[in-house]
Amino acid sequence: MTSERTTNGRRVLVLNGPNLGRLGSREPDVYGSTSYAGLVERCGALGAELGFAVEVRETNDEGEMIRWLHEAADGELPVVLNPGAFTHYSYGMRDAAAQRTAPLIEVHISNPHRREEFRHTSVVAEVATGTIAGFGIDSYLLALRALAAEPAG
């Protein structure tokens, strides 16, 4: 599922991995009650305020995520990336993220280090510009604000 809010600003991709399209209904005690549509709306609204054309996408398919990361690298597009479960094992996604040509900020709604042991490892973290985790949906908004503080390409 994709959504885009168009402005005249710099284009930013907000990429979401498996199960994030189920926000609001999936484990609300962990991921909060904001729906995926609410996430899209909040990212789009803040993006517009910051001068970004924000495009929010979600996939359960690893290959699609890799293609999106290639698109971002080829287009020199900043990325806010919530890899979901891909965080812990997708070396293909990690290698695609390593090809970045603009800032890439890894985000997580929950704090992986306060959860199960297998969630403590991120194969993406070492190739990301930075990581923001544990602030609920606000993790995305903090990432967009961090991108706004970066000089434009």
Give the active site residues.
31, 108
Cα separation, 6 vs 103, in Å, equals 20
- Is 113 annotated to bind ligand? no
Radius of gyration of the chain (CA): 14
- Is 109 annotated to bind ligand? yes
- Is 88 annotated to bind ligand? yes
Cα separation, 131 vs 134, in Å, equals 10
User: C-alpha distances in angstroms, 58 versus 92, 117, 151?
Assistant: 17, 25, 27
- Is 82 annotated to bind ligand? yes
Cα separation, 118 vs 92, in Å, equals 18
Which positions make up the binding site? 82, 88, 95, 109-110, 119
Which positions make up the binding site for substrate? 82, 88, 95, 109-110, 119
